[in-house]
Amino acid sequence: MQAKGKAQATALGTVLRLFVAAGAAGVLAAAIALPAVGGAGITVKSVKEELNIGPEELDEPPLPEKTTLLDAGGKQIAQFYFQNRESVPLDKIAPIMRKAIVAIEDFRFYEHGALDLEGTSRALVKNLTTGGVTQGGSSITQQYVKQVIFNRAETDADKAAALAPTFSRKLNEIRYAMAIEKKYTKDEILNRYLNIAYFGAGSYGIEAASKRFFGKHASELDLVQAATLAGAVQNPNNTDPNLGKAYRDRLVLRRNTVLDRMAELKIITQAEATKAKSKKLGFKDKPIPGGCEESEFPYFCLYVQNEILHDKQFGKTEKARREFLNRGGLTIKTTLNRDMQKAAEKAIKKYVHTSDKPVASEALIEPGTGAIRAMAASRKFGTNPKKNEMSFNVVADALHGGGTGFQAGSTFKMFTLVTALKEGMKIDDGFSVGGTFQANGYSDFKNCKGENVGDPSAVQHNSEGGNGGFESLKTGTWGSVNTFFMTLERKVGLCDVVKTAKDFGIKRADGQKLREFQTFTLGFNEMDPVTVASAYATLGARGKSCAPMAITEIVDRFGKATAFKPDCKQAVEPEIADATSYILKGVFTNGTMRGVGGIGRDAAGKTGTGDQSRTVWFAGYTPDLAGAVSLGDPRGPVRYPLSGQVMGGRAYGSVFGATIPGPIWKDTMLGALKGVSASSFTSPDMSRFGGCTSQCAPRRPERDDHGGDRGDRGNGRDRGNGGDRGNGRGGLGRWDNGGDDPIILGN
């Protein structure tokens, strides 16, 4: 067998000499990779015809590159990758690194063609005598080809075939290498090889490896570090320094081999090699965080990630969109404002701890653009239940990685108020209501299909059994009176209220259609903070509704930038928005947030409490920023209502919209708008909205404790499907004129 192998080697050696003499060494030397080829009469022509050797174009798909997420200020907040790689040009790679890799992998790289004839001939005898490809002799060009084929393989079988020690694979590799040598210069080939090679420790390409191993750019590598990385490429899985001491010891030995080879080739002196070999490995083990779990702002990161994965403009299929994100080498510029994000996180932390079972979450939206400036929650994102982590995006809807949301409560009354103003009612228009509400018949409420959805058997209450009285749009909103809003919704029409909500961008958190029943105005639909904040931002922008927006620009790996503009429409007349803001502004001065107070600039909003205080909200806005805060127990608000639970180190007997969400919103806004010039709401057109028409208050007004024009307000405190409760104890130390959300004095 050995004699036969040597005979074959001798015959092929003759072929090689013929090829070299013919000036086609690169092409003809391919024969050495084949099994037994020998015998008398072998010629250049017969070998070329039999083997069909010639250049073959290699399909080189773009390398997987990591994608980076940036906040609005340009700072990195997350990264995604299939392979941790950052391709760099050759002039961004230290010259000593280039010399080291050539010295150990292919020292005649700049002298030969697609094949290293001498190195391959040396490997030939070994391969023929063993009956397979047991020794490499591959040039850097061939190694690059093998890496390209491996990287483009989609299945495990294809990956195995790309590395299989077969002669057919080797022959194809040579054909491709020949074409690569014609297509690129030597420097270009070396650059491509250094960017595609795997170095171990999850690092693909020289730049990522330099950062991972030594915490520096490839352009900054010194001799010892360059020799280390040059040695790692031969068998990176065997010398992966991240896997333990034995692996690091093998990497040191391999590094020293590279240094000896560099000294042998006179690239460095023997003294330099000896000194370098005395150095420690110096592996820094720099982390390479990827994905949203590792992000500083995981909930916002999840929103962006899911925005791309579900939007067909980024790929026709989910697989294509995922590859676009994880392999595309993108730079994604986002709307996140780091200062506003920190303000939200600080405010939430003050009232709800990470260890608490209920979770507070908040979204901040910029009116007029829809830009999401912050997404924060009291619990950390993750999969460890022992650390009370959450594995879904509680701030957003299901489409963006969220769950089913929480009932929005009385925040939905805003849509009924807007609808009433759209339909011609004035600020002081109203009617007398009782302490309870019952539909007269099924036809009292019709959904948008025209179906009767009234329920005469259902009874809606005002909190603590308020007896009722006259309420206007203004006072009924300030007190968040359930029976008033049920009567108002019946008057203006359920479907019209639903349409208003949809115009403001309202949709259920779980992605299902909005449920259209008579208690729609009391907020039984489950919502997420991003959606609610976006709806209230519409009023801050004087009726211009903008879809929530997280991405402003995507720059691809080639530097091509695609900008994304706000998606806005005029949902309601500016004048109607102004009148609504005028009323909602009074929530801070005369209504349910009076015990919490304002923020020192124009602000408006609405508290919200779900049925039996299972979930509570506050949604508010200024002309510059809108925010929505929700609080609920993700284990299930029906089974685990908020009353009686411990939050922020304090046990609460009752929890309402102004108990915790309101103060969180206030503290957030004070921090988020610090340094931002205050803008003012536009005063309403009182010739159009002032006073009342035929639905005026009774002639005998009753002044409340504040001297207002509120008439009989005894009914205020709501209950039932989403009613809120009073504004808290005022200076008189007692419950005031009804409404939402009790607040303990001093909170």
Q: Which domains are assigned to the chain? A: 337-545+571-747 (3.40.710.10)
Place of tokens 């370098």: 276
Q: What gap in Å lies between CA 74 and CA 90, rounded to an integer?
A: 26
Tokens of 90: 């050759």
- pLDDT at res. 183: 94
- pLDDT at res. 160: 81
In eight-state DSSP terms, residue 310 is: T
- To the nearest whole number, what is the mean pLDDT of the chain? 85
Split at pLDDT 50, 70, 90, the class of 115 is: confident
Pick the closest to residue 285 from 213, 204, 219 (CA basis): 213
Q: Is the pLDDT of residue 512 over 90?
A: yes
| Residue 280: strand, helix, or coil | coil
Pick the closest to residue 484 from 417, 418, 422 (CA basis): 417
**pLDDT tens, position by position, 600-614:** 999 999 999 877 789
Split at pLDDT 50, 70, 90, the class of 466 is: low
- pLDDT at res. 120: 62
Q: If you average pLDDT over residues 523-552, what whole number do you get?
A: 98
Those residues with Cβ within 8 angstroms of residue 740's Cβ, 6 or more apart along the chain or in another chain:
410, 479, 480, 591, 592, 607, 608, 609, 656, 657, 658, 717, 718, 723, 724, 725, 726, 727
Q: Which of 3-12, 305-314, 418-427 ranks highest by mean pLDDT?
A: 418-427
- pLDDT at res. 339: 97
Do 544 and 570 meet the contact criterion of CB atoms below 8 Å apart? Answer: yes
- pLDDT at res. 581: 98
Pick the closest to residue 262 from 388, 425, 130, 95 (CA basis): 95
**pLDDT tens, position by position, 398-411:** 999 998 999 999 99
Q: Is the pLDDT of residue 520 over 60?
A: yes
Axis-axis angle for helices 270-277, 223-232 (nearest 10): 80
Q: If you average pLDDT over residues 472-489, what whole number do you get?
A: 96
Q: What gap in Å lies between CA 90 and CA 221, rounded to an integer?
A: 13
**Direct distance between the N- and C-terminal alpha carbons of the chain, in angstroms, rounded to an integer:** 93
Q: What is the length of the chain?
A: 747
Any idea which of 362-366, 374-378, 505-509, 611-615 has the lowest mean pLDDT? 611-615
Please give the torsion angle defined by the CA atoms of residues 47, 48, 51 and 55, in that order, rounded to the nearest 10 degrees. 150
Split at pLDDT 50, 70, 90, the class of 241 is: very high
Helix (H), strand (E), coil (C) string for 559-600:
CCEEECCCCEEECCCHHHHHHHHHHHHHHHHCCCCCCCCCCC
Q: If you average pLDDT over residues 29-45, what whole number do you get?
A: 40
Residues forming beta bridges with residue 136, ordered by sequence position = none
Tokens of 500: 């208003």
Do 80 and 291 meet the contact criterion of CB atoms below 8 Å apart? Answer: yes
Exposed, middle or buried by CB within 10 Å (0-12, 13-18, 19+), for 688? middle
Split at pLDDT 50, 70, 90, the class of 651 is: very high
Any idea which of 83-97, 121-135, 211-225, 248-262 has the lowest mean pLDDT? 121-135
Q: If you average pLDDT over residues 226-244, what whole number do you get?
A: 94
In eight-state DSSP terms, residue 693 is: S
Q: Is the pLDDT of residue 191 over 70?
A: yes
| Residue 673: strand, helix, or coil | coil
Split at pLDDT 50, 70, 90, the class of 71 is: very high
Q: If you average pLDDT over residues 681-703, what whole number do you get?
A: 85
Do 302 and 396 meet the contact criterion of CB atoms below 8 Å apart? Answer: yes
What is the dihedral sign for C-alpha 26, 27, 31, 34?
positive
**Higher pLDDT, residue 462 or 705:** 462
- pLDDT at res. 613: 81
- pLDDT at res. 81: 86
Q: Is the pLDDT of residue 369 over 60?
A: yes
Q: Is the pLDDT of residue 46 over 60?
A: no
Pick the closest to residue 334 from 533, 564, 532 (CA basis): 564
Do 627 and 601 meet the contact criterion of CB atoms below 8 Å apart? Answer: no
Any idea which of 41-45, 67-71, 507-511, 694-698 has the lowest mean pLDDT? 41-45
Residue 68 identity (one-letter amino acid): T
Q: If you average pLDDT over residues 58-64, what whole number do you get?
A: 85
Tokens of 612: 């039996």
Report the run of H or E that residue 123 belongs to, with start and end: helix 117-130
- pLDDT at res. 173: 84
Q: What gap in Å lies between CA 662 and CA 656, rounded to an integer?
A: 9
| Residue 247: strand, helix, or coil | helix
Q: Is the pLDDT of residue 5 over 80?
A: no
Q: If you average pLDDT over residues 157-180, what whole number do you get?
A: 82
Split at pLDDT 50, 70, 90, the class of 122 is: low
Q: If you average pLDDT over residues 714-718, what whole number do you get?
A: 37
Q: Pairing between strand 331-334 and 67-70?
A: parallel
DSSP for 385-429, written as a single string: GGGT-BSS-TTS-GGGT--S-EE-GGGGHHHHHHHHHHTT--TT-
Split at pLDDT 50, 70, 90, the class of 590 is: very high
- pLDDT at res. 189: 96
In eight-state DSSP terms, residue 197 is: -
Q: What gap in Å lies between CA 286 and CA 268, rounded to an integer?
A: 29
Split at pLDDT 50, 70, 90, the class of 52 is: low
Place of tokens 């879809």: 547
pTM (predicted TM-score): 0.78
Those residues with Cβ within 8 angstroms of residue 243's Cβ, 6 or more apart along the chain or in another chain:
none
Q: What gap in Å lies between CA 445 and CA 539, rounded to an integer?
A: 27
- pLDDT at res. 463: 67
